Amino acid sequence: MGASARLLRAAIMGAPGSGKGTVSSRIIKHFELKHLSSGDLLRDNMLRGTEIGVLAKTFIDQGKLIPDDVMTRLVLHELKHLTQCSWLLDGFPRTVPQAEALDRVYQIDTVINLNVPFEVIKQRLTARWIHPASGRVYNIEFNPPKTVGVDDLTGEPLVQREDDKPETVIKRLKAYEAQTEPVLEYYRKKGVLETFSGTETNKIWPHVYAFLQTKVPQTNQKASVHP
């Protein structure tokens, strides 16, 4: 067995609002994997004002994806520093050309796909209402106002931010689906796609944890932490 046989090359995929952020942070807490998020990488480049950061900002501001060649170069460059590590890619690959470019350099062992029903995500993402004058934030599920649609203190109407409106959320989810379905299909065909379905992150997580225990090399498992 070569050194690479002892390392895990994984990716995680899930729509906005699927709980991908929560699941990723739990994975990192329980397993010694380097977490490489393409969004974080881009934001870091933007903050530092690098050439890629300046370019990326023009695309992100228009709600567009970064061109495949730029994105692939950026991520593969980062991965060069991690040849001795097990890693978890997050947000990359987002397109089939990105998946193919990654494949030319690394063999992906597993792709964790979080599959949460459209309606549940829509409910989660549209649950936030604000009182514009004070900035008070309510969440219909976790922190609802005493009366629906009305600020507790002033009695004034609550509004939704553009991003939280059902029309916008549906558009984002449809765009995600259209964009990533071919990537999921690509990994399905390769036999490395592992789909976890459910409506609650806390119920999905134990399955992801149990699955990773069978996949992550012993040397990258943290012994003492409970899921």
Instruction: List residues forming the annotated binding site for GTP.
Output: 17-22, 128, 137-138, 201
Q: In 10 A of CB 79, how many CB atoms?
A: 19
Binding-site residue positions for AMP:
38, 43, 64-66, 91-94, 98, 161, 172
User: Should residue 184 be labelled a site residue for ligand AMP when binding is judged by CB under 6 A?
Assistant: no
Q: In 10 A of CB 213, how many CB atoms?
A: 13
Q: Which is nearer to ligand AMP, 66 or 212 (CB)?
A: 66
CA angle 207, 83, 21 (to 5 degrees): 35
The amino acid at 122:
K
CA angle 222, 85, 66 (to 5 degrees): 115
DSSP 82: T
Where does this chain touch ligand AMP (CB under 6 A) — which range of 34-42, 147-155, 178-186, 214-222? 34-42
The interface mask with ligand AMP, positions 163-182, x = CB under 6 A, is --------------------
Q: In 10 A of CB 158, how many CB atoms?
A: 20
DSSP 221: B
Return the H-helix or E-strand segment holding 79: helix 68-80
Q: Is the Cα dihedral 217, 221, 75, 60 positive or negative?
A: positive
The interface mask with ligand AMP, positions 92-131, x = CB under 6 A, is x-x---x---------------------------------
Among 4, 29, 39, 84, binds ligand AMP (CB under 6 A): 39
User: Should residue 59 be labelled a site residue for ligand AMP when binding is judged by CB under 6 A?
Assistant: yes
Q: Which is nearer to ligand AMP, 94 or 131 (CB)?
A: 94
Report, as residue numbers or ranges, the catalytic residues. Answer: 20, 94, 128, 161, 172
Q: Which residues bind ligand AMP (CB under 6 A)?
A: 38-39, 42, 59-60, 65-66, 71, 91-92, 94, 98
